[in-house]
């Protein structure tokens, strides 16, 4: 047993069998995923994790850019299936 300071500075490691496994993490576990890892490794899953991400990450403009751009894509007047899914905000040509 370490001191209270040692326990406060403890590091938690999460081992995931594949990238999609991050979608199964709870909001409590997602708080241990560093932002840099979230964006570089799991950036494609930010949209699916959004409601479970810690508040400080949801407010972060860099993290917000990884969300899908529904402001300019897949609107009711754009009823074509050929466009595919909405791009991320960072990839949207209009944003």
Mean pLDDT, rounded, of the chain: 84
pLDDT grade for 79, boundaries at 50, 70 and 90:
low
Determine the average pLDDT of the residues in 2-17. Answer: 64
The residue with tokens 């949207």 is 92
CA distance 1 to 9: 13
Q: Tell me the pLDDT tens digit for each residue of 80-95.
A: 555 677 888 888 888 7
Domain assignments of the chain as residue spans, ordered by start: 22-73+84-91
pLDDT of 6 > 80? The answer is no
Q: What are phi and psi of 3, to 5 degrees?
A: -75, 170
């Amino acid at each position: 047993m370490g001191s209270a300071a040692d326990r406060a500075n403890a590091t938690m490691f999460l081992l995931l069998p594949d990238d999609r496994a991050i979608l199964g993490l709870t909001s409590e576990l997602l708080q241990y995923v560093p932002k840099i890892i979230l964006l570089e490794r799991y950036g494609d899953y930010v949209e699916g994790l959004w409601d479970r991400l810690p508040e400080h990450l949801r407010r972060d403009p860099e993290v917000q850019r990884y969300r899908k751009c529904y402001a300019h894509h897949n609107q009711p007047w754009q009823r074509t299936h050929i466009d595919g899914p909405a791009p991320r905000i960072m990839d949207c040509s209009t944003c």
